Structures are given as structure tokens and as C-alpha cells.
Amino acid sequence: MNNILIASAMQEEINQIVNHFQLKVIDSINNLNLYQYSDNETKIYILSLGIGKVSSVISLTLFLQKYQVNKIINIGTSGSLDNKLEIGDLVVADYVAYHDVDVTSFGYEYGQLPGKEKYFKINNISYIENIIKNIDHNWSIGTVLTGDSFIDDQVKKEAIIKEFNNCKCIEMEATALVQCGQAYLIDTYIIRGISDNANGNATKDFNQYMHIVSEKYINLINILCN
């Protein structure tokens, strides 16, 4: 049996999946609803983990202590850091990094945690590339940046872009989830949909366009189970 966790930050990002497949709650993890969908040889757990690095990793750790999976796929929304991306486009991470880590006083690069590389590499990236190309034609691959701030300011956005290579989008959980998943030796993948441009209109755009991104993840479930 191929066991996969589909994890988002917010319940709103998985509601369309839950409603489409008429999923029932099977458990509560960190006071958050856990759902399950099974078909053929695949069992998929679906869970919102909470917003931010700490909340999401706590929920993921509690889940992994109770359930066994061989893949984690983090889905959700993000702000664009690439002017070529449009609302609704999907981004697959080949690398992830923290944009809010600064221990440069000790000789580390901006964004680098002591004892870690600046960029966390996504292992076995071809697996998720083969999936994403069947979900949507409008997708790209690159670095996804994580930090505990919702970026809605053009000046902050440009300052962050200068510090990282090939950065595509910015959000609040992905790098922490990859770091946690790798500690458990589980392949962890990031698929993020663009809901805003991380500028002055970000809050309004996020609320308006989040559902466009969420609808695409229904196709992800169908592909995983075929």
C-alpha cells in the first residue's frame, strides 16, 4: 500500500477536496481534522497542519508518531516572487529555504541555519514533476521561501528576492515541513499555487483567489490514485 499525506496549512485549502470526495473525519491531530481517501493500492491522508513553521511541524510530528506514510505532499497557496507567474499558476519546489533566518554575525549565509545548508534540496524531484505536469500546464519549478510573516509589501518582497536564487514564491510552512520530513527519512514535496503577488494587494488577492488554487488539488488526488 502506498501511503501518502496531503498536508495544507489551512482547512480552507483542503475544503474543496473534502467536499468533492465527501470525506469523513477519521481522527483529530492537534485539534485539527484528519481525513482519509483510499483507492486501489493508495491510501491518502488529508490534514491541515496549522499556519506557520512551529504549528505546522508540531501537527506533522504528532501525525507521524501515529501514522506511517512514505510520502508527504504539502499543498496550498503562496505569494509570487516571479513576475512571470500569474494567479492560479502552480509552483513545484526543487529547493526550499528560510527567508527569516539571520545568523550572519557568525559567518553563515543569510537564510542559513547553523549546521544546515542554506537550501534544503527536495529529493526524488522527478516523482512530483511527473504528477504536476498532468495537473496543469501552467507550472514552474524553483525555490520556495518560508518565513513567519505574510509578505504584502513590495519593498520587503524585493529585499528578500535579492538574497536567494531562482525564488518563485513565498509562504509560511514549506521549509519547516521539508526539514521535519527529511528527519523522518520521508520524501517531502511542495506544490504551491499562486494566490497573490506578495505586494500591497496581497491580502485582498489571497482571499479572492484562494479557491482557484484549491480546486486544482482535486486533480492531484485523482492522479495519485490512478
Residue 154 is which amino acid? Q
SS3 category, 203: helix
Quickly count: other Cβ atoms within 10 Å of residue 123's Cβ: 14
Helix (H) or strand (E) holding 15: helix 15-20
Q: Is 13 a catalytic residue?
A: yes
Beta bridge partners of 39: 42
Q: Which entry of 187, 196, 205, 215 is annotated as an active-site residue?
A: 196
Nine cell digits for residue 147: 518565513
Q: What is the CA radius of gyration of the chain?
A: 17
Q: Which entry of 12, 13, 89, 136 is annotated as an active-site residue?
A: 13
Q: Is 152 a catalytic residue?
A: no
- What is the β-pairing status of strands 187-196 and 71-74? parallel
Report the catalytic residues.
Answer: 13, 196
